[in-house]
């Protein structure tokens, strides 16, 4: 009753001045009216507070020729009010004596609901107050990572961190806060902030009736407004909408469709980023390192798409938090389980099946998610034309177990375990086996409203084996990598202008590069390559600083050190001679934990953003990364049996320096994103190999490995349509990657010391990805890719010399090219029912890989028998259809 009375009085008061003022002279006009008209005419936004503007009369001056700032400065003179600009299209009219916080358009019903008040007016005398909380999924209770929390009035905001946590520091006042995330209904709260407050928000999935295809998990204009660039985020929605080989949605295959990311060819493990080798990508799954990201020689990736939350690839400006690899960081985060109820998904394809099961351990407090995949048939191989292959088998499987729990109000504990196995046996006599076992624990804690920290421990092992158990030369060859990693990271947000992060990291490696042993008393001689031990240490500090509304900087540095330590025997070589087996003069023995060699490096990371207007910006970045471990592989494609090597006395760390520059522009209210980026990358001490290098079980790799200089440069053009029934992207990449090997001695020179293209130098690359939503039940996707054929070293001539009949004379390294590559894939997703009452949802995915059956060359070889000559080999030289059935409950 009382509130009703008050409301009446307020209305009366509001009406009164209007009535009075209308009677005044005609060359004065109502300020609010001017603001409204101005906004409409000029298509800009002006924030203002009704209480300040109310009743203000200003001179009626025609504003058609004016910019907002000079115009309002003119008409507001004498009113005590002032205009300020946030950027070229957002302005605010403020009372310099009043609070900055303002509320507009009280009549908007959306904003009058959900009013939250913290404290009472005058409760706190602090200049700045803090409001924080968590954003969660209202159905599952999962934390929502990357949800946007924005203060509408200030057009400022932040994204929730990995635990769904946000914290805003504001002057006392009244604000409208919006909480947004892909696929969820946006929530708004009007907050009267008189004291610090905690506001947890639950977001609910949008119902099917809403437009569902949203491909961006960040604010629509994040691409132009974030100083971070040269990074690509893929959410599972996106990955699942891309046509997949054998129906298996694949993180890495999707990444390869992005500009700047390429691969040597089908059936090769790993990927290449901006002219970097496969080993220059740090691949993290829940902070644990993945050394082999492929199943079945690259036909499938190591990540179970059912439980991946999102994958972020940093290829340009790498955040200071990450390091240890020269070219990119692929950070794959798995999702938390459902905290409210048991749920699951399952899918069956022609070769493999996958499932995920999740649910609460303690409702609303802790949850688990289990994901598993397994191949169940040798369908692929059984369709092959030869007996040997039909007798072969390729199998893989992986298992993820992840549990998350809240510890008190402010902490969260996550345990993530991963196991992956691959076995490939050829004609039942030789078996190749590779396995990953990883585990990580992450404890994160909100120390205060401004400080947030995480403590991570991860441990893992990657191993591979070859067993030959028939014939006279039976053997087992095994090798492994063990690592232990500890990391502490903190972020400190003193306000809107700065976001400081810092941390330390230590990784211990133990490599067992090769152990070759006879089996069943066979005649082969055992051979063991010495173990290696290394310790990588790093610390970093970084600040994301919004200098003005137009200009922001992320500046940071990382300092890393690497220690190679014993026990190990290190060869010594003759001075003034190239390192060869014949120039070994002796051996230096190092005992346990004796330091053999240490390296350290300073790694600055800088990136800038300058907004040209509300829709476009220019960005630049500069960064250095050191890499202390190297994949030793002298073949065009990485094989599962290639070994890794730590930097040592002779093999120096790889050091990458990258400069990049980009222009970003959005159109049509951020429905279209476009960008153009150029980069130059220099790789010092990249590992190359002498001509005719011998790498297998080599006990003195330094004799066959060379320090090369790599130069990569390129331009990437990207057009992406985000909204609408048809969405997708078109990208064109021009990139070159060269190596120069010009050592001191003749055997340390390749191609006369001239630069030669890297194995994956493919100058032109065009990708078109599209997704068309035909109806609520059907959607159609396609992708087309074209790239220049990769370089090869092939014979040019053949000759005879004396008793030697067919000698092939090869070209210089990588001087010829295989034919260009192009391929079209299609897929149709059909959801069986949209009724909510059903116990489960299901969908069919029909996909066609290589739709027009292009025989893309993978490699070239020479056949000796009739008809002799050069031949190309196509790994998937035909159309490859498949059907996958998925259910979700």
Partner 1 sequence: MKISNFLILVLFIITACIEPITFENPGNKTPVVISGYITDQTGGHRVSVGYSVPYTSSSFRAYAFTPIQDAQVLIIDDDGNETQLHEDLRAAGNYLTDDEFKGEIGRKYKVQVQIEDGQAYESSWEELKPVTAINDLSITPYEQRSIENGIEVVEKGIDAFVTFDDPADIDNYYRWRWFGTYEVQFSLDDKGPCWITEPDIDLINILEDGFQDGMTIERTAASVKIKNRTNAQNKYILTVQQLSLTRRAYEFYELLNKQREQQGTIFDETPAPVRGNLNAVNDPDELVLGYFHASSIKTSRISIETIIDNAGEILDCDLFVQMGFRPPTLCYNCEQLRFSSRIKPDWY
- The 8-class DSSP code of residue 819 comes to P
Strands 451-468 and 90-94: unpaired
Q: To the nearest whole angstrom, how small is the minimum distance from the Cβ of residue 797 to partner 1?
A: 4
Phi and psi dihedrals of 388, rounded to 5? -55, -40
Q: Is 189 in the site for partner 1 (CB under 8 A)?
A: no
Q: Which of 66, 426, 663, 786 binds partner 1 (CB under 8 A)?
A: 426
How far is the first Cα of the chain from the last one, in angstroms, to the nearest whole number? Answer: 49
Whether the CB-CB separation of 784 and 768 falls below 8 Å is answered with: yes
Nearer to partner 1, 70 or 870 (CB): 870
Span near partner 1 by CB under 8 A; candidates 46-54, 351-359, 442-450, 469-477: 469-477
Q: Is 872 in the site for partner 1 (CB under 8 A)?
A: yes
Span near partner 1 by CB under 8 A; candidates 228-236, 478-486, 791-799, 841-849: 791-799
Burial bucket for residue 841 (CB in 10 Å: 0-12, 13-18, 19+) = middle
CB atoms within 10 A of CB 166: 25
Distance set, CA 42 to CA 36, 463, 672, 709, 774 (Å): 10, 64, 22, 54, 37
Q: Which of 635, 668, 669, 744 binds partner 1 (CB under 8 A)?
A: 635
Span near partner 1 by CB under 8 A; candidates 109-117, 173-181, 328-336, 377-385: 377-385
Q: Is 799 in the site for partner 1 (CB under 8 A)?
A: yes
Q: Which of 382, 473, 744, 754 binds partner 1 (CB under 8 A)?
A: 473
Task: Report the run of H or E that residue 201 belongs to, with start and end.
Answer: strand 201-203
Q: To the nearest whole angstrom, how small is the minimum distance from the Cβ of residue 397 to partner 1?
A: 20
Q: Which of 804, 836, 837, 839 binds partner 1 (CB under 8 A)?
A: 804
Q: To the nearest whole angstrom, how small is the minimum distance from the Cβ of residue 281 to partner 1?
A: 19
Q: Is 858 in the site for partner 1 (CB under 8 A)?
A: yes
Convert residues 572-611 into a mask of x (bound to partner 1 by CB under 8 A) and - (unbound): ---------xx-----------------------------
Q: To the nearest whole angstrom, how small is the minimum distance from the Cβ of residue 581 to partner 1?
A: 7
Task: Report the run of H or E that residue 73 belongs to, with start and end.
Answer: helix 68-76
- The 8-class DSSP code of residue 142 comes to P
Span near partner 1 by CB under 8 A; candidates 350-358, 531-539, 654-662, 802-810: 802-810
Is the bond leading into 867 cis (omega within 30 degrees of zero)?
A: yes
Q: To the nearest whole angstrom, how small is the minimum distance from the Cβ of residue 572 to partner 1?
A: 16
Convert residues 6-45 into a mask of x (bound to partner 1 by CB under 8 A) and - (unbound): ----------------------------------------
Q: Which of 90, 826, 855, 887 binds partner 1 (CB under 8 A)?
A: 855
Task: Please list every residue from 636 through 695 that binds partner 1, using CB under 8 A.
Answer: 636-637, 639, 641, 689, 691-695
Measure the CA dihedral 317/323/325/329, to 10°.
-60
Task: Please list every residue from 747 through 776 that binds partner 1, using CB under 8 A.
Answer: 750, 759
Q: To the nearest whole angstrom, how small is the minimum distance from the Cβ of residue 458 to partner 1?
A: 31
Nearer to partner 1, 198 or 744 (CB): 744
Nearer to partner 1, 296 or 606 (CB): 296
Nearer to partner 1, 577 or 581 (CB): 581
Nearer to partner 1, 60 or 820 (CB): 820
Task: Return the sign of the alpha-carbon dihedral for residues 268, 272, 278, 282.
Answer: negative
Q: Which of 3, 27, 803, 837 binds partner 1 (CB under 8 A)?
A: 803
Q: To the nearest whole angstrom, how small is the minimum distance from the Cβ of residue 783 to partner 1?
A: 21
Q: Which two tokens stand for residue 464?
A: 């591979």
- Cross-strand partners of 446: 452
Nearer to partner 1, 667 or 799 (CB): 799
Task: Return the sign of the alpha-carbon dihedral for residues 563, 567, 569, 572.
Answer: positive
CA distance 156 to 133: 17
CA distance 634 to 641: 12
Q: Is 61 in the site for partner 1 (CB under 8 A)?
A: no
Nearer to partner 1, 401 or 697 (CB): 697
Locus of tokens 């190596």:
739
How many alpha carbons lie under 13 Å from residue 513 in its C-beta half-sphere?
A: 25
Q: To the nearest whole angstrom, how small is the minimum distance from the Cβ of residue 584 to partner 1?
A: 10
Q: Which of 204, 447, 745, 862 binds partner 1 (CB under 8 A)?
A: 862
Q: To the nearest whole angstrom, how small is the minimum distance from the Cβ of residue 764 to partner 1?
A: 18
Span near partner 1 by CB under 8 A; candidates 137-145, 452-460, 571-579, 807-815: 807-815
- The 8-class DSSP code of residue 691 comes to T
Q: Is 381 in the site for partner 1 (CB under 8 A)?
A: yes
Q: To the nearest whole angstrom, how small is the minimum distance from the Cβ of residue 351 to partner 1?
A: 14
Locus of tokens 């691959």:
422
CA distance 337 to 26: 66
Q: Is 796 in the site for partner 1 (CB under 8 A)?
A: yes
Q: Binding residues for partner 1, how many (CB under 8 A)?
A: 86
Nearer to partner 1, 14 or 519 (CB): 519
Burial bucket for residue 349 (CB in 10 Å: 0-12, 13-18, 19+) = buried
Q: Which of 23, 387, 587, 839 binds partner 1 (CB under 8 A)?
A: 387
Whether the CB-CB separation of 876 and 821 falls below 8 Å is answered with: no
Task: Return the sign of the alpha-carbon dihedral for residues 106, 107, 110, 116.
Answer: positive
CA distance 794 to 630: 26
Q: Is 285 in the site for partner 1 (CB under 8 A)?
A: no
Nearer to partner 1, 97 or 866 (CB): 866
Q: Is 795 in the site for partner 1 (CB under 8 A)?
A: yes
Span near partner 1 by CB under 8 A; candidates 109-117, 182-190, 212-220, 633-641: 633-641
Nearer to partner 1, 65 or 385 (CB): 385
CA distance 291 to 304: 16
Nearer to partner 1, 510 or 872 (CB): 872
Q: Which of 834, 870, 879, 883 binds partner 1 (CB under 8 A)?
A: 870
Distance set, CA 317 to CA 247, 480, 620, 621, 681 (Å): 33, 32, 9, 6, 12
Q: Which of 632, 794, 845, 851 binds partner 1 (CB under 8 A)?
A: 794
Q: To the nearest whole angstrom, how small is the minimum distance from the Cβ of residue 523 to partner 1?
A: 11
Burial bucket for residue 160 (CB in 10 Å: 0-12, 13-18, 19+) = buried
Nearer to partner 1, 149 or 706 (CB): 706
Whether the CB-CB separation of 877 and 856 falls below 8 Å is answered with: yes
Q: To the nearest whole angstrom, how small is the minimum distance from the Cβ of residue 248 to partner 1?
A: 18
Spell out the SS3 assignment of 35-70: HHHHHHHHCCEEECCHHHHCCCEEECCCCCCCCHHH
Q: To the nearest whole angstrom, how small is the minimum distance from the Cβ of residue 578 to partner 1?
A: 12
Q: Is 3 in the site for partner 1 (CB under 8 A)?
A: no
Instruction: Give the residue from 762, 666, 788 showing the smallest Cα distance to 722.
Output: 666
Q: Which two tokens stand for residue 494?
A: 């003193």
Q: How would you classify residue 46: left for phi > 0, otherwise alpha for psi between -120 and 50, otherwise beta?
A: beta
Span near partner 1 by CB under 8 A; candidates 348-356, 380-388, 439-447, 535-543: 380-388
Convert residues 705-744 into a mask of x (bound to partner 1 by CB under 8 A) and - (unbound): ----------------------------------------
Burial bucket for residue 800 (CB in 10 Å: 0-12, 13-18, 19+) = exposed
CB atoms within 10 A of CB 200: 12
Locus of tokens 């938090």:
321
């Amino acid at each position: 009753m009382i509130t009703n009375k008050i409301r009446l009085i307020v209305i009366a008061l509001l009406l009164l001045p209007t009535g009075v003022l209308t009677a005044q002279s005609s060359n004065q006009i109502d300020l609010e009216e001017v603001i409204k008209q101005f906004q409409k005419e000029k298509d800009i936004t002006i924030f203002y507070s009704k209480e300040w503007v109310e009743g203000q009369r200003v001179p009626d001056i025609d504003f058609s020729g004016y910019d907002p700032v000079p115009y309002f400065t003119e008409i507001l003179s004498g009113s005590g009010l002032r205009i300020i600009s946030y950027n070229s299209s957002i302005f605010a009219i403020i009372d310099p004596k009043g609070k900055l916080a303002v509320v507009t358009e009280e009549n908007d019903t959306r904003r009058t609901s959900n009013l939250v008040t913290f404290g009472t007016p005058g409760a706190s005398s602090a200049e700045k107050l803090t409001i924080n909380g968590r954003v969660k999924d209202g159905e599952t209770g999962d934390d929502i990572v990357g949800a946007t929390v924005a203060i509408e009035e200030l057009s400022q905001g932040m994204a929730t961190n990995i635990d769904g946590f946000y914290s805003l520091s504001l002057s006392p006042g009244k604000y409208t806060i919006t909480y947004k995330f892909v696929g969820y209904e946006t929530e708004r709260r009007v907050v009267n902030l008189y004291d610090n407050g905690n506001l947890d928000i639950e977001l609910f999935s949008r119902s099917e009736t809403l437009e569902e295809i949203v491909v961006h998990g960040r604010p629509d204009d994040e691409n132009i407004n974030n100083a971070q660039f040269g990074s690509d985020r893929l959410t599972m929605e996106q990955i699942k909408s891309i046509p997949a080989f054998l129906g298996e949605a694949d993180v890495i295959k999707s990444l390869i469709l992005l500009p700047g990311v390429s691969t040597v060819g089908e059936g090769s493990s790993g990927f290449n980023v901006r002219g970097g080798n496969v080993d220059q990508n740090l691949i993290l799954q829940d902070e644990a390192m993945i050394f082999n990201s492929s199943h079945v020689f690259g036909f499938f990736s190591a990540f179970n798409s059912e439980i991946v939350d999102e994958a972020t690839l940093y290829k340009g400006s790498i955040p200071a938090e990450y390091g240890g690899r020269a070219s990119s960081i692929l950070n794959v985060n798995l999702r938390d389980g459902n905290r409210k109820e048991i749920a699951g998904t399952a899918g069956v394809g022609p070769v493999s099946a996958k499932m995920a099961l999740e649910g609460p351990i303690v409702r609303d407090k802790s949850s688990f998610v289990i994901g598993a995949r397994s191949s169940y048939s040798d369908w692929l191989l059984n369709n092959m034309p030869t007996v040997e292959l039909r007798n072969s088998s390729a199998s893989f499987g992986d298992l993820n177990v992840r549990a998350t729990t809240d510890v008190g109000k402010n902490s969260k504990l996550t345990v993530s375990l991963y196991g992956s196995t691959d076995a490939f046996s050829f004609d039942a006599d030789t078996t190749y086996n590779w396995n990953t076992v990883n585990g990580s624990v992450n404890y994160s804690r909100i120390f205060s409203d401004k400080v947030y920290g995480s403590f991570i421990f991860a441990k893992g092992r990657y191993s591979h084996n070859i067993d030959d158990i028939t014939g006279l030369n039976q053997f087992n060859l095994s090798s492994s990598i063990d690592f232990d990693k500890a990391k502490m990271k903190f972020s400190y947000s003193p306000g809107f202008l700065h976001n400081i992060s810092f941390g330390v990291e230590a990784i211990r490696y133990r490599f067992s590069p090769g152990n070759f042993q006879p089996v069943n008393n066979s005649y082969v001689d055992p051979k063991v390559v010495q173990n290696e031990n290394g310790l990588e240490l790093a610390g970093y500090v970084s600040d994301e600083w919004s200098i003005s509304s137009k200009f922001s900087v992320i500046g940071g540095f990382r300092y890393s050190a690497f220690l190679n330590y014993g026990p190990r025997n290190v060869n010594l070589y003759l001075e003034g001679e190239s390192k060869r087996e014949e120039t070994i003069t002796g051996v230096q023995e190092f005992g346990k934990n004796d330091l053999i060699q240490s390296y350290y490096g300073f790694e600055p990371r800088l990136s800038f953003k300058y907004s040209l207007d509300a829709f476009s910006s220019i960005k630049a970045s500069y960064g250095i990364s050191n890499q202390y471990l190297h994949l030793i592989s002298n073949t065009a494609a990485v094989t599962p049996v290639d070994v890794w090597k730590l930097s040592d006395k002779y093999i120096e760390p790889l050091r990458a320096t990258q400069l990049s520059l980009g222009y970003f522009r959005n159109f049509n209210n951020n429905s279209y994103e476009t960008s153009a980026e150029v980069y130059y990358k220099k790789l010092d001490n990249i590992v190359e190999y002498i001509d005719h290098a011998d790498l297998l079980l080599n006990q003195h790799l330094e004799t066959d490995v060379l320090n090369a200089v790599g130069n990569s440069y390129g331009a990437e053009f990207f057009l992406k349509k985000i909204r609408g029934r048809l969405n997708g992207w078109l990208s064109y990449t021009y990139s070159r990657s060269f190596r120069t090997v010009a050592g001191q001695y003749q055997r340390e020179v390749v191609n006369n010391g001239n630069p030669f293209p890297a194995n994956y130098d493919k100058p032109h690359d065009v990708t078109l990805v599209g997704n068309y939503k035909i109806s609520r039940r059907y959607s159609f996707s396609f992708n087309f890719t074209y790239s220049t054929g990769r370089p090869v070293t092939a014979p040019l001539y053949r000759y005879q010399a004396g008793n030697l009949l067919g000698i092939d004379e090869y070209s210089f390294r990588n001087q010829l090219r295989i034919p260009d590559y192009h391929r079209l894939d299609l897929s149709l997703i059909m959801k069986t029912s949209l009724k909510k009452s059903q116990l489960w949802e299901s969908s069919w995915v029909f996909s066609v890989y290589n739709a027009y059956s292009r025989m893309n060359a993978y490699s070239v070889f020479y056949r000796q028998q009739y008809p002799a000559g050069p031949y190309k080999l196509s790994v998937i030289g035909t159309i490859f259809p498949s059907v996958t059935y998925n259910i979700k409950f």
